[in-house]
Amino acid sequence: MQTKKLIERFHSEIQVNYFSIRLQLILAILIGNFFCSPSKFLVFDERYSEPRFYLYWFLSSLITLCVLYAAHVFNRFMDKKLSWLTDFKPRLIGQIIYGLLLPALLTTVFVLLVFLPLTSKGMDAIGPYIRNEFRFVFLFIFILNLLFLLVYVIRFAKFVKDQYVEAEIEKTELKELLIEYEELQVKLEDGRMEDVSDTVMLAPCLRVKYGYEDNYVPLNGIAFIKSSADDKKLLTLTSSREYTHNYSLDTLMKILDHNQYYLMYRRYIVNRSIIKGYHALENGVIRVELKPNFEQQEDIFVSRQDAADFRRWFEMK
C-alpha cells in the first residue's frame, strides 16, 4: 500500500523530462549526418561536395528531431496513463506497438517519400531502401526507448531517495512537534495558552506562531489547515485567530486522527466537524461546503480520483 502511494505521488508531483530540446537538437544534427553518410559521422567527401548535401542533411536532421520530440511527448503521455511501475505489461505492449514499430514504419515511409525520386529508378530502389533503412530506424528508435526507460528508472530512484531523506527529517521534526502534558503545563503557567479550552488542555499540541509569538494548539482542537508556497495558516475550533505554521501537510497527517481529518488536494486539511456538506460537480470533482463560522475560507475541492474515498470518509459513523 505504501509503495502504491509512493508511485502515485511520484506521478502526481514529478513530470519526467527525458531529453532537453538542446540535446535533441544535437542528436538530430549528428544522426542526420549519419543518415546522409551511412556508417560514419560528420563525413564530407567528394560525393557530397554539392550544395544538395546540406539540403539532405537539413531534411534528415529535421526528420530526426521530429522523431525525438514525438518520442519524448509519447513517453510523457504514457507515464500518465500506464506507469512502468504499476502497469508493466500493458505499458510494454503499448510501447512496442505505438512507441517502436509504428514510428519506425512511418518514419521509413516518410523518408522514402522525401529522398527517393518518383521515377522508374526510384521505384526500383524502394524495396532495398525499405529493407536497409527500416533496420536502421528500428534500431535507433529501440535504443531511444531503452534510454527513456533508463531515465525514468533513474528519476524514480532519485525521487525515492529524496522521500527517504524527507522522511528522516520529518521524524526529527515530529519529535519537536508533539508536546507532552508536562511541557504544556509550563507554557500555561507562563500565560501563553489562553486560547486553549479545558476540554482539550491535556491533548498533545502543535507549536505554531501568532505574529512573532509562539503558541501551542491542541491537535484535536484544529479546525482547518492550509499549506501553500506563500500562505500557511491554521485555524482552531475555539478561536477566530489565524496562526502560521512551517509543517508539511504530509507530516501533519501522520499525527492527526485520520477519522477526524482529511487531506484535500494536497493543500488543505479539514476537520470533519466544520464540514456542512459537499456537492459533486460535473467533472467528478467534489466541492466541500464548510459551516457558517468557516465559510469565509476559499473554495475547497476534492479531486475526482479521491472523490469516492472522501465520500466513504465523510459518511463513516
167: Cβ–Cβ under 8 A, 6 or more apart, which residues?
none
Torsion of CA 295, 299, 304, 306, to 10 degrees: -50
Higher-confidence position of 36 and 47: 36
- Alpha-helical runs (H) found in the chain: 2-13, 21-36, 52-81, 88-96, 102-115, 120-124, 126-177, 181-189, 249-253, 307-315
pLDDT at 40: 45
Per-residue DSSP letter, 305: G
d(CA 1, CA 14): 20
Radius of gyration, alpha carbons of the chain? 30
Q: In the predicted model, what is the mean pLDDT of residues 244-264?
A: 86
- Report pLDDT digits (tens) over 183-218: 655 655 555 545 544 434 445 778 888 877 888 888
% of the chain residues with pLDDT over 90: 3
Higher-confidence position of 222 and 85: 222
pLDDT at 176: 63
All cell numbers assigned to 297? 475560507
Question: Which range, 102-116, 169-183, 190-204, is most confident?
Answer: 102-116
Residue 1 has pLDDT above 50, yes or no: no
Instruction: Give the least confident one: 46-60, 134-148, 262-276.
Output: 46-60
Global pTM value: 0.51
Among 91, 32, 84, which residue's Cα sits nearest to residue 57? Answer: 32
pLDDT at 199: 39
pLDDT at 58: 80
Q: Mean pLDDT score of the chain, rounded to an integer?
A: 77
Instruction: Give the least confident one: 44-48, 219-223, 241-245.
Output: 44-48
Q: In the predicted model, what is the mean pLDDT of residues 265-285?
A: 87
pLDDT at 197: 44
pLDDT at 200: 41
Neighbours of 16 (CB within 10 A): 17
Q: In the predicted model, what is the mean pLDDT of residues 104-132?
A: 70
Residue 180 has pLDDT above 70, yes or no: no
Residue 78 has pLDDT above 80, yes or no: yes
Reported as a pLDDT band with limits 50, 70 and 90, residue 173 is low
- Report pLDDT digits (tens) over 224-251: 998 877 788 888 888 778 888 888 888 8
